[in-house]
C-alpha cells in the first residue's frame, strides 16, 4: 500500500501537478490580495473570501483532471496490470490509490492553509483550521468520486465531465431544495411534478457539498457545531460508499 501511495506522489510530481497548482494558487492569492486592497472597507475579509473560494475551485478542478487522466493512462500503459501482478488485492489497490490521491490533496491544502495563516487576517485560527479540515474532506470526497468515475468509464474526458457534473450539482443541492419549496414550483402541471420528483431523488442520492468549506467561516467564524457535524457525517457516509462501488466494479473487470 505504501508503495502505491509513493507511486501516486511520484506521478503527481511527474505530471507537474504540484508545480502547476502551486503557481495557479499563487496567482489566485496575488489577485485576491490586490482586489482586497481596492475594496472600500473590509479589504482583509475580501481577500480571505476570494482566496478561499478561488483556491477551492482550482484544487477541485486540478485534482479531478489529474485523477481521471492519471487512472486512464495507467490503464492504457498497462501500469495497473503490472501493479496487480504483485500480491495486491483489488480492494487494497483501490483504497491505496484513493489514499495516494488523498495525500496529494492534504499536501496542497497544508501549503494553502499555512500561507493564509501567515499572510492574511482571518476571523480566528480555529475557524481557519475548521475551513481547512472541511476543504480536505471535500477534496477527499471529490477524489473518491473521480477515482470511481475513471475506473468505471473507458474515456478520461467523460470521467472528467461526469466528475465536474457531480461536483457542481452537489454544490447546488441547497439551491435545488430552495427551488422545490418555492411557490413558483408548486404548480400541479406534469413538468413541475416530474422535475420536482427528479430533483428530490437527486438531492437524496448526492452528497450536500454546499455544507463544506464556506469562506464565511474565515470572515465571521463558524456559527455553531451543527455546521461541522453536517460535513463530517456526510464524508463518513459517502467516501466508503463511493470506494465500495469502485471496488465492486473493479473486481468484475476483465484484463
Q: Which three cell numbers stand for residue 188?
A: 400541479
Say how far apart CA 133 and CA 231 lie, in whole Å: 10
- Closer by beta carbon to another protein, 91 or else 127: 127
* Beta-carbon-side half-sphere exposure of residue 212 (alpha carbons within 13 Å): 28
**In this complex, which beta carbon is closest to another protein, that of residue 100 or of residue 207?**
207
φ, ψ of residue 251 to 5 degrees: the values are: -70, -30
Written as nine digits, the cell of 46 is 475580501
Interacting residue with another protein among 215, 222, 238, 239 (CB under 8 A): 215
For residues 112 to 151, the per-residue mask of contacts with another protein, x marking binding by CB under 8 A and - elsewhere, is ----------------------------------------
Tell me how far apart the alpha carbons of residues 213 and 215 are, in angstroms, rounded to a whole number: 6
Kindly state whether residue 220 participates in binding another protein, applying the rule CB under 8 A. yes
Nearer to another protein among residue 182 and residue 254 (C-beta): 182
Confirm or reject binding of residue 46 to another protein (CB under 8 A).
Answer: yes
Q: Which stretch binds another protein (CB under 8 A): 2-10, 39-47, 66-74, 234-242?
A: 39-47
- How far the first Cα of the chain sits from its last, in Å, is 21
CA-CA distance, 200 to 141, in Å (whole number)?
21
Residue 214 lies near another protein (rule: CB under 8 A): yes
Cα–Cα distance, 208 to 194 (Å, whole number): 22
Contact residues: another protein, CB under 8 A: 35, 38-42, 45-46, 49-50, 52-53, 56, 168, 171-175, 178-179, 182, 209-216, 219-220
Amino acid at each position: 500500500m505504501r508503495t502505491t501511495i509513493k507511486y501516486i506522489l511520484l506521478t503527481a510530481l511527474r505530471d507537474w501537478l504540484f508545480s502547476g497548482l502551486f503557481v495557479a494558487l499563487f496567482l489566485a492569492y496575488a489577485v485576491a490580495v490586490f482586489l482586497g486592497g481596492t475594496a472600500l472597507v473590509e479589504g482583509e475579509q475580501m481577500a480571505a473570501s476570494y482566496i478561499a473560494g478561488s483556491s477551492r475551485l482550482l484544487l477541485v478542478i486540478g485534482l479531478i483532471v489529474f485523477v481521471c487522466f492519471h487512472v486512464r493512462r495507467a490503464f492504457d500503459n498497462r501500469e495497473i496490470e503490472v501493479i496487480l501482478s504483485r500480491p495486491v488485492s483489488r480492494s487494497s489497490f483501490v483504497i491505496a490509490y484513493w489514499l495516494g490521491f488523498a495525500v496529494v490533496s492534504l499536501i496542497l491544502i497544508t501549503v494553502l492553509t499555512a500561507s493564509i495563516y501567515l499572510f492574511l487576517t482571518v476571523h480566528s485560527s480555529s475557524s481557519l483550521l475548521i475551513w481547512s479540515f472541511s476543504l480536505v474532506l471535500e477534496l477527499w470526497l471529490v477524489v473518491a468520486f473521480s477515482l470511481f468515475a475513471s475506473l468505471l468509464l473507458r474515456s478520461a474526458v467523460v470521467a472528467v465531465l461526469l466528475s465536474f457534473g457531480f461536483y457542481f450539482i452537489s454544490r447546488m443541492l441547497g439551491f435545488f431544495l430552495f427551488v422545490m419549496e418555492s411557490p413558483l414550483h408548486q404548480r400541479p402541471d406534469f413538468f413541475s411534478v416530474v422535475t420536482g420528483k427528479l430533483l428530490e431523488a437527486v438531492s437524496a442520492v448526492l452528497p450536500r457539498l454546499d455544507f463544506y468549506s464556506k469562506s464565511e467561516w474565515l470572515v465571521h467564524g463558524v456559527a455553531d457545531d451543527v455546521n461541522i457535524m453536517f460535513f463530517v457525517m456526510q464524508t463518513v457516509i459517502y467516501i466508503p460508499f463511493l470506494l465500495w462501488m469502485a471496488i465492486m466494479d473493479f473486481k468484475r473487470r476483465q484484463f
